[in-house]
Amino acid sequence: MKQKSRFFTADTREAAEAKAAEYFGTDVKHILFEAIYEGDAASTCTLFAFHGTAKELTDISADFGLYYEADGVYLELYAERGLGEALDRVAMAHHLVRKNINRYDEGAVQILVPNGSGRAKIAPAQDEFFFGEELVIEVPQFEMEAKAKLLAPEAGGAALGFEEAKDKVLKAGIVHGFDEQALRRLIDEKKYGESFVIASATMPEDGENGKLVFHFQTDKKTAKPKELEGGKVDYRSLDLYVPVEEGQLLVERIPATEGTAGITVRGKNIKQRPGKDVQLPKYKNAIINNEKTEMRAKSAGMVEYVYGSVNVSNVYKIDGDVDMGVGNIDFDGSVHIGGNVIAGHVIKATGGVVVGGVVEASEIIAGGNVEIKRGMQGMDKGRIEAGGSISLLYIERGKAVAGGSITVDASIHSTIEAGDSLYAKGKRGSIIGGRAVAAEEIVANSIGSVSHVRTEVEVGVMPQKRTRLTDLEADMEKLKAEMTKLDQLDAYLGRAKEKLDADTFDKLYRSGAENRRIYTEQIAECNEDINKLKDELDRATEGKVHVFDTVYAGARIIIASDMYKVADDTQYATFKFKDGQVTYLHCEMRKGG
């Protein structure tokens, strides 16, 4: 493509103008000339010729021209005018490189460029090379992406094929994240001079910080009442503690992750940031696994998260009273109450229960021992039930049932049942009114009262055991009836074996055999329990009632199958079973012994 401007040199001005007219293919009058050098008659003349209007000449951008002439290759520079832009030296240098000029004299160019205008020979004479499309790969410093720019060819220059372009990308060191489709679109759509992303780095994935997952409520308890069906609420069941079971998962530690390194477009690793690890919190009465990723409760009870420490306790402590502000308690462990238990509450514990004050008309149910420092005002509603022993100062109009012994200073119009022995001892050591039962013996200062109130005491087998024996004997009869049915099934199978198909016979036979095995085991267990209870009943005659002071008239002493009604006040006596009846003699036990 011809330039709109260039330099022409000849011996005379007329000859230089003629060269310009020939080059531009127009008349001299359509060309604007400026004398660059015009000497005497013996000198040459150099003109700057511009093929355009005078207005265009006032604002033109700097440009350059490359001319292959008989004596060499010439570079011409044209300075900008008016508002025209300065010469893009980088673009010119790149153009000269693309022209693939042999024996290129870069020094001649360096001398010409500072002038901004002029003409210089930069190489010896040679045929002109017409460059084709060229792909330029751009990779920023950190290699996060690679861009490609397609440069336009000269007229007659060769087009760039996809495989050739791809090879240039690979030679540029692009080995990761290469988008072949993006390169193909660039080659096919011929968007010259624009940069397009053809490869992208894989960014690193930072590791996740370790974290703790609490499997119990760690925030402050709400003390809200429990919601019941129908929109009702139980104001005695409050949210005051978090119960846990032995081995229950309390805290889980999720370890930090390393993350994944990234890769630049040239295959270099991009280091990721590993996550920060976290440690399990401090703990009490808990166990940690070998990997230190789990914390579990060492025992059943309650769990608290206080000042960064997980504390498991099998003792639930209430410093004051159990009232509406505390509500009912159902705890897997022991319960210690510093104050009183106000009427209407229920306290359940798999362990023991200790009450520092008075228990009003409430229920206490414990798997272990129960200790009431003062006593119970039962109001005919209070009840204490313990798997172990019961100890209390007094009980009035209440009920106490213990798997072990019961110790009380005074029992007044109450029901007491001890699986071991009953000891009414202390300042009074009295059993007044109601009913007292002990499997072994009853020891008291006095039984009954001067008002001759009816008071019933019994030693031997606990009433629950008599009921249990009755139930077991009923179960045994049912099991025997089932065994009779199995005998009938066996007889039927013996008669019908030839008539039944093999599968039906086999199913009936196997079912009968399995049921016989199960019933046989159940009968053996039931027999063992019945024999144990009967043995206890046989030994029930060994129970005794010891009274250090007085058994008042109106009291009834029951041992085994006989009852002794006390008609007259009796002092310092031991009641026991002899020759089929209850009799008494001088007290066999010393007070305090």
Joined together, the tokens standing for residue 335 give: 């319960």
Whole-number pLDDT of residue 34: 81
Amino acid at 285: N
pLDDT in tens, 442-456: 999 999 999 999 999
pLDDT in tens, 377-387: 999 999 999 98
For residue 67, pLDDT beyond 50 = yes
Whole-number pLDDT of residue 45: 84
The rounded percent of the chain whose pLDDT value lies above 90 is 51
Whole-number pLDDT of residue 235: 43
Q: Please tell me whether residue 176 adopts helix, strand or coil conformation.
A: coil
Relative to beta strand 32-38, strand 5-10 is unpaired
Higher pLDDT, 496 or 268: 268
Whole-number pLDDT of residue 592: 67
Whole-number pLDDT of residue 223: 44
Q: What mean pLDDT comes out for the span 458-483?
A: 83
Q: What mean pLDDT comes out for the span 61-72?
A: 89
Whole-number pLDDT of residue 209: 95
For residue 186, pLDDT beyond 60 = yes
| CA distance linking residue 155 with residue 324, whole number of Å | 99
For residue 234, pLDDT beyond 70 = no
Q: Which residues are bridge partners to 385 per DSSP?
A: 365, 401
Q: 187: part of which helix (H) or strand (E)?
A: helix 180-189
Categorize the per-residue pLDDT at 468 as very low, low, confident or very high, splitting at 50, 70 and 90: confident
Q: 23: part of which helix (H) or strand (E)?
A: helix 13-24
- Is residue 431 within 8 A of residue 417, CB to CB? The reply is no
Q: What is the DSSP string of 181-243?
A: HHHHHHHHHT-BT-EEEEEEPBPPEEPPPPEEEESS--SPP--PEEE-GGG-EEEEEE---EE
| CA distance linking residue 196 with residue 185, whole number of Å | 10
Lowest mean pLDDT among 229-238, 357-366, 551-560: 229-238
Whole-number pLDDT of residue 230: 60
Neighbours of 252 (CB within 10 A): 15
Joined together, the tokens standing for residue 265 give: 């477009």
For residue 232, pLDDT beyond 60 = no
Alpha helices in 83-131 (DSSP H): 89-98, 106-112
Phi, psi of 250 (to 5 degrees): -105, -50
| CA distance linking residue 30 with residue 43, whole number of Å | 26
Amino acid at 479: L
Q: What mean pLDDT comes out for the span 71-88?
A: 88
Longest dimension (CA), the chain: 174
Q: Please tell me whether residue 164 adopts helix, strand or coil conformation.
A: helix
pLDDT in tens, 98-132: 889 999 999 999 988 888 888 899 999 999 898 99
Q: What mean pLDDT comes out for the span 568-591?
A: 91
What's the predicted TM-score (pTM) here?
0.51
Categorize the per-residue pLDDT at 221 as very low, low, confident or very high, splitting at 50, 70 and 90: low
Whole-number pLDDT of residue 144: 96
For residue 180, pLDDT beyond 50 = yes
Whole-number pLDDT of residue 311: 87
Task: Pick from 38-42, 54-58, 312-316 the range whose average pLDDT is largest.
Answer: 312-316
Categorize the per-residue pLDDT at 49 as very low, low, confident or very high, splitting at 50, 70 and 90: confident
Whole-number pLDDT of residue 7: 86
Q: What mean pLDDT comes out for the span 286-301?
A: 92
Higher pLDDT, 296 or 591: 296
Q: What is the mean pLDDT of the chain?
A: 88
Sign of the alpha-carbon dihedral angle for 473, 474, 478, 481: positive
Task: Pick from 7-16, 421-430, 497-506 the range whose average pLDDT is largest.
Answer: 421-430
Q: What mean pLDDT comes out for the span 85-96?
A: 88
Higher pLDDT, 295 or 350: 295
Whole-number pLDDT of residue 445: 95
- The candidate with the shortest Cα–Cα distance to 200, out of 261, 260, 139, 135, is 139
Categorize the per-residue pLDDT at 317 as very low, low, confident or very high, splitting at 50, 70 and 90: confident
How far is residue 213 from each of residues 119, 250, 251, 293, measured CA to CA in Å? 80, 8, 6, 10
Apex CA 243: angle with CA 241 and CA 247, to 5°? Answer: 145
Apex CA 511: angle with CA 509 and CA 512, to 5°? Answer: 65
Categorize the per-residue pLDDT at 261 as very low, low, confident or very high, splitting at 50, 70 and 90: very high
Higher pLDDT, 240 or 587: 587
Phi, psi of 574 (to 5 degrees): -120, 125
Q: What is the DSSP string of 445-495?
A: EEES-TT---EEEEESS-HHHHHHHHHHHHHHHHHHHHHHHHHHHHHHHHH
Whole-number pLDDT of residue 438: 93
Percent helix, strand, coil in the chain (nearest 5)?
25, 40, 35
| CA distance linking residue 129 with residue 62, whole number of Å | 24
Alpha helices in 302-404 (DSSP H): none
| CA distance linking residue 46 with residue 33, whole number of Å | 10
Look-up of token digits 């002092």: 571
Q: What is the DSSP string of 269-336?
A: EE---PPPP--PPEEESEEE-TTS-EEEESSSEEEEEETTEEEEESEEEESS-BSTTT--EEESSEEE
Whole-number pLDDT of residue 40: 63
- Is residue 335 within 8 A of residue 347, CB to CB? The reply is yes
| CA distance linking residue 125 with residue 106, whole number of Å | 16
Lowest mean pLDDT among 148-152, 191-195, 224-228, 320-324: 224-228
For residue 222, pLDDT beyond 70 = no
